[in-house]
Amino acid sequence: MSIALWTIQILLTPLVSPLCVGVIRKLKATWQNRQGASVFQPYRDLWKLMHKDEVMSRDASWIFRVAPVMVFAVTMVVGASIPLFASFLENSLTGDLLMVVYALAIGTFFLALAGMDTGSAFGGFGSSREMTVSALAEGGLIFSLLTVALISGTTNLFTMVNVATIPSGQHVLSALLALCGFVIVLLAETSRFPFDNPATHLELTMIHEAMILEYSGKKLALMEWASANKLFLFMALSVNLFFPIGLAQQATVGAIGLGMIIFLIKVAVFCFVIAFIESSMAKYRFFRLPDLLFIAFILNVVAISLIR
């Protein structure tokens, strides 16, 4: 039973993450009076890229070839390190919050290296912008998770979800402030509005797209898939750490099925929130982004200071 549960835990991230991207695109298209593509279009895009030939620069080194596998593998490891649909699972090896943060940082590191590896001007400034945003967002990410850790009394993510952070009356203000800071960091780490525009290749607006501009074929598919996985993982952390409602408490088929349904509903609601944010505001100028990330950091510092 445990092997089957861990198989579901590991495979759930890559199977559902493209659907989240498709739902966000469909909602944005609907609110912009467009028909938009199907919510399953990301799956078709990945299938198409997997069957295309690859073109690589002659200046590319082994970093360019290994980076897509590393970035995708990091998201798979993190997917097995955070609670998705059950709270009774245990992962003492990679389930610590600092392990998850540093694992995500490794993926960002290889992504930035890949952007610079071919010597492209686009990749260079994309990597520079990405590392700037990541460095500024790191403190807000750690402090938001630290707030929940102080409330729950543990740094293990699977144990942290057993404490109802926001629904409970105790420390509700700290949890709400930490949630606001975490959402800002989520938008920054996943290259969403107002930090980045994931639907354009314009020089002045793109950060993530600039780093993968040289990729094609299967390697581009892995990069796009890893990006969708990262968005899904951040949404899973948001809904389960701050709203740990409906998680399976025991290893029965009914409890696990109900836990998965409730988890997917919470993720769908968060997709609605992200689509609403992206439809109601424009991308910020790059030099305004540090101010927004500093606000996230301050919110988390205030949240920690309010904990007694």
Domain that residue 50 falls in: 2-138+149-168+196-285
Per-residue model confidence as pLDDT tens digits over 280-303: 888 888 888 899 999 999 999 999
> What pLDDT is attached to residue 26?
95
28 lies in some domain:
yes
Per-residue model confidence as pLDDT tens digits over 112-156: 999 898 888 888 888 888 899 999 999 999 999 999 998 888 888
Average pLDDT over the chain, rounded to an integer: 88
Cα 179 from Cα 297, distance rounded (Å): 11
82 lies in some domain:
yes
> What pLDDT is attached to residue 1?
57
Compute the average pLDDT of residues 244-264.
88
Compute the average pLDDT of residues 68-85.
93
Compute the average pLDDT of residues 172-197.
90
> What pLDDT is attached to residue 308?
66
257 lies in some domain:
yes
Per-residue model confidence as pLDDT tens digits over 83-116: 998 888 877 788 889 999 999 999 999 999 998 9
203: pLDDT confidence band, cut at 50, 70 and 90? Answer: low
> What pLDDT is attached to residue 202?
61
105 lies in some domain:
yes
111 lies in some domain:
yes
> What pLDDT is attached to residue 204?
60
Has residue 22 got a pLDDT over 90? yes
> What pLDDT is attached to residue 210?
80
208: pLDDT confidence band, cut at 50, 70 and 90? Answer: confident
Per-residue model confidence as pLDDT tens digits over 221-253: 999 999 999 999 999 999 999 888 888 888 788
256 lies in some domain:
yes
Domain total in the chain: 1
Cα 65 from Cα 70, distance rounded (Å): 10
177 lies in some domain:
no
Has residue 2 got a pLDDT over 80? no
> What pLDDT is attached to residue 221?
95
166: pLDDT confidence band, cut at 50, 70 and 90? Answer: low
162 lies in some domain:
yes
Q: What is the percentage of the chain residues whose pLDDT exceeds 90?
A: 52
> What pLDDT is attached to residue 201?
63
Compute the average pLDDT of residues 6-25.
94
Higher pLDDT, 114 or 168: 114
